[in-house]
A and B are shown apart, each in its own frame.
Chain A
Amino acid sequence: KAGVTQTPRYLIKTRGQQVTLSCSPISGHRSVSWYQQTPGQGLQFLFEYFSETQRNKGNFPGRFSGRQFSNSRSEMNVSTLELGDSALYLCASSFRDRAYEQYFGPGTRLTVT
């Protein structure tokens, strides 16, 4: 069974731009969660989607948004990028009733200059 895939793997953007990251979950998984990982803060929860609905949201500004499509694929968007948004963005998928058992993709490394 194919794992979680994330595209692109690496991205360099300039302050003020916006970016969209994509995540394809494991087949059969309908819950998708997003995390930001930085050396200082570790992994921090951004949001979780299930059946195209945001089920949980972390403590991030409104510049961070996401959505989920009917095939469970998910995207996250960051608008008006700031230097502090440089991080590894991880997507994880899971079954609906065991969404705490998460299977992670390799991440997208975003660098904001």
Chain B
Amino acid sequence: TQLLEQSPQFLSIQEGENLTVYCNSSSVFSSLQWYRQEPGEGPVLLVTVVTGGEVKKLKRLTFQFGDARKDSSLHITAAQTGDTGLYLCAGGWGSQGNLIFGKGTKLSVKP
């Protein structure tokens, strides 16, 4: 049973377009992380959200944690080719390191 469902699985867009990636669960998490992974490398932490309803912005990326702490979204404004990669969400409980990962959204931004 996959506790974290990500959608869409694949996304191919043109440079300059906006996009949103979703991460949904029936479980409540203490924290939710978003990572980006490029081929041959480990995931890189983008953001952590811990409060229901929290919104964090990182340049053109906006992250939101659902009020019930069961879901999250990642919105990218004016996508660039450098945004290409696998976006992963991960949920955690308490302060410990046993994260549950979604299967990821593979984003391709074409010039």
- Residues of A near any B CB (own CB < 8 A): 4, 31-33, 35, 41-45, 48, 50, 55-56, 58, 90, 92, 94, 96-107
What 4 additional pairs, Cβ within 8 angstroms, besides A32-B97, A43-B101, A90-B42?
A33-B98, A101-B45, A104-B44, A106-B42
Find out whether the CB atom of A43 lies under 8 angstroms from the CB atom of B88: yes
CB-CB under 8 A from A100, the residues of chain B are 30-31, 33, 48, 90, 92, 95-97, 99
Expressed in whole angstroms, the minimum distance between the Cβ of B12 and any Cβ of chain A is: 18
A103 partner residues in chain B, CB cutoff 8 A: 45
- B42-78 contacts to A, CB under 8 A, are 42-45, 48
A45 touches B45 (CB 8 A): no
- A107 near B103 with CB under 8 A, answer no
The docked-state distance in angstroms from the alpha carbon of A66 to that of B97 is 15
Residue on A nearest B97 in the bound complex, by CB: A99
A102-B102 in contact (CB<8A): no
Seen from chain B, the residues whose Cβ lies within 8 Å of a Cβ on chain A are: 30-31, 33, 35, 40-45, 48, 88, 90, 92, 95-104
> 6 tightest A-B contacts by CB?
A104-B42, A100-B92, A99-B97, A56-B98, A43-B101, A42-B103
Q: How many A-B residue pairs have CB under 8 A?
A: 76
Whether the pair B98, A104 counts as a contact (CB closer than 8 A) is no
Q: Tell me the smallest distance from the CB of A54 to a CB of chain B, in Å.
A: 11
Residue of A nearest to B96 (CB): A99
B6 CB → nearest A CB, Å: 9
Which residues of chain B come closer than 8 Å to A43, judged between CB atoms?
A: 43, 88, 90, 101
A31 to B43, CA, bound (A): 17
| Assembled-state Cα–Cα distance A88/B105 (Å) | 18
With a CB–CB cut-off of 8 A, which chain B residues contact A32? 97
Q: A100-B33, A104-B44, A107-B42 are in contact. Are A33 and B99 (CB under 8 A)?
A: yes
Q: How far is the CB of B79 from chain A (nearest CB, A)?
A: 23
CB contacts (< 8 Å) of B97 on chain A: these are: 31-33, 48, 50, 55-56, 92, 94, 99-100, 102
Inside 8 A of A96's CB, which chain B residues have their CB? 95
